[in-house]
Structure 1
């Protein structure tokens, strides 16, 4: 429940340099409970602060401190935990576990009556926590649906040990009866004595109320209800709600017996009785196991994947070389056949003309062989040079990309290309490659170099660590300007904050090389070009307390908040139709968060009781207990000075009269005969 500092000065206050009060949860007769933040442990807590007008009352202070001491002695899943207790500026406070949710009273108001199963589940949790208190010798003495908390996550906890005391100190203080009258045991009404059986009686009344939706005893005056507790017997719930099992009827009768000796001696005995009945009825406790909505199917190895298509493979056919037969050439035929023999010439002798022709042909043949030899030599030389500068040791190669590989993998890849690796590796900062992996090479990858060139491997040292400037508490523009040159700024995240001004950085987070989130406000250095996400304040959620509903909706819509539920309540402080409180559903709230409103129905109406015939003191006490003011004239009769006339003179009439509708704070005039 949200309340601004204008109506509650505790909102926003830092208590004991540790607890920052954020909003008001509830207000009782002794204290007010607030939602607060424990800035030391960074968790939400409920802090109970005693009313200032009670600070000078030593009895109230002692009772308030007694609550902390009593509850701190207890530790049980069904009891609200107490973390701390102290005093500041004469104001006592208790720090407790914060339980977001509703009370059993809220549940009964919404559903009227519960099913037997629901009532039994809640009863078992209440008895389990109460049994822990009884084992420790603590009597609660103020059990009622308002003190049974139903958390949003399903936990059920018993709280508010404000009237608790040791079981050995089992008498009330003075003549006043402590606790709520509807749940007081007969012995508390008649003798002011309380022990663990008194708590059991109150539990029985609560069980009756859960099953029927109403309390067993009713009356216009508290004393009428107290009289019924002392003299009447609580009826069976099935009389009001047919269908209630007889076992629960018997349980209510047992727990609410007028004679304490006829009740369970403590909560543990009553709990064991319930558990025993359930085991006998069912033979075992049933546990419901919820099946997850989505399951992950794992395909076995080798199973076909319907989403994967197989590429077709083209076969390569290698053709054998075709063999061709060769016919003899004309020159071949000529070498195998004798030339024509001239008639009349000496065999082997040539004519002068023929000899000259033959000499020229011989010279041509000699030059052809020389040219062929030169050609072959040149071809062999070219092939050798091509091999040397190609696949041979004198060739060139492109340096492969080895970034991100391990050093051994990089060496293998470079040597496979005919390159050498330098004996010593180098190092450099790298914002991308993880520390210890290969960052680059010198010369750089993709360069063409001669085979056998020595290549140095450069290993990543990770990103260069840079000192972080002041971020948190700075304006978003200042922080972005300081970070932009060295880091990778991500889109900011925005949230509402009552403690941080609008457009001011609330937090800054980064990411480690392992992927974990890093709170940059807790480190002094961060890797260069590392991602940085700023959380920026949108300012406080608009305070719409005291505004008409339409104005509240407009104010929330202006900052992109929506209105959730609207609950109407009576209020003695806020006029009809105006907002009592506004509570965002998300903490912290962001744009789009729904805000639930509580709207005033005006002052709580009170039906004025008829105090005609009561003494002036009795009438005054009755009316003031309802929050009304009382006035009456002084007695002018001379005899009034000789006796306590206020305790004896009866009220003749009231203005306004009995049955009239009045409101808290109204003044009732008493008339009497002097």
Structure 2
């Protein structure tokens, strides 16, 4: 973002934070890259907009962001360093992230393969687990608030809407807080946010990573919010099938179940918080690594939380009419519970059926007794027992004994009821102890101390040392039945594999070796090589035997054979220069010599080959000139003309006969030559023969 006209650029806040450049601008604040002059480090400074500084609600949100995030110390949460105010503008100093947002990754690469999406999502879940354990709800999880550093680490940012669980609700009724595409249904209707709200938003983010599309769309935020409240989010695999991408990015059933467990419209049917979400993601990633993307219905069922059962009022059964009662006069109406329309209701009228389907409850039986009846015994007082056949002594000693026995019975019953209640509600349960960073033996001891059994499984971890506990299922702090089995995941350490030796193999062989060795093929380059054949691997970016992470991209350099070299045409050049030039190009030079009447001595008469291309080491033949061949003109004086001419022609000389006498009678004798006898001339030269 251009920061040329921003008045804060170049200023120093509180004589410590020098504003360097504007990074981003949001609805509440602007984020700058700054330099901490005291600690000499690069930081991000979030400054509230000047027009919002006097708004108490925005100032409270801004302050809450700093306080909420400051209580968190986790590698997947953007760290808060400082907070202050400069010229009535509040600011927050936080960790500066070199990287990009998840939104850019989704826009550029989605739909993402399930293993890549879960790799990112696990770190988001880890951040939410840390926040929820600290009592902080983020309330605005979306791709724009998930940062990816240049090293691939995930950082959750922007706690501007976060608040402590149980803090007063600051948003007026009817105002949507958060981003509509990721807004949980319960926040649209009536509920206060909790960990399940963040889980819902995170599930929408995972859906978008897997499909490249948001689950609900609309013309405005209220249409989108309405769909979140009234329409279930479909499985990611179904959305990919609608887009025609199911074959390209197959999604196993347990990944679908993970998403549905996050985005259930009823919060009670949703994964409860970040810690449970993190455990579910890790189980899905482990199965994805083991099963290679095959469905696992058992795990899919385990990742879906149980659906809540709505239990209406329990049926109340009316008293039966044949219950023994003392004699009474008259009829007293009693409460009748009638089931109508699936619900029980009470009526204090006389028991008359209100409809043919309703059966009236008969009144208590009344047995009038005549006063003259010999069997009738009227009570003498309110203490007279109803059953006169029981003879109870009223002796004080007996009464005290009965009182003691009654008290003892009450104490025993109370203790029994208390113990039973304790056993039913708490006694039969125990709590999963914290086991992180324990070794297996220590974890077993901790489990036995809490009346639990252990089943171990293993997984690779980049952060937990080999042999130590990564996590448990159920998670730390959860209530479980005594004697139940606790699944403990033991770290296998960092997942590393040896780099295969691919130098000297063909390209296809090298690719197979890398794939079998759990590596990936990176960039393939070609280079000329004088010794290795075309297609053979010359070099790899990693040494053979090096321990590397799974999926490390290996760059390869492959031979494309000897480099072709063009033959220069050096005919007529000096032989020494020609030989030097050809040798410098890598050719083997062979020089022969011969006489030439046309080519100067020491220059190239012929070259083979003198055009086209070759390779280093090829042979080139040069014929170097010795100059013309010389002969000495013989003495032919006083020889006959024919003999003299023959003697000269035998030396490959050309002869011109000239009559050089005024004597009237020709003698046919040679008188001399030009050049004269004894002179050296080139073969083929013309010699004048004088005759008389």
Global fold match (TM > 0.5): no
TM value normalised by structure 2 = 0.41
TM value normalised by structure 1 = 0.42
Rg bigger for which structure? Answer: 2
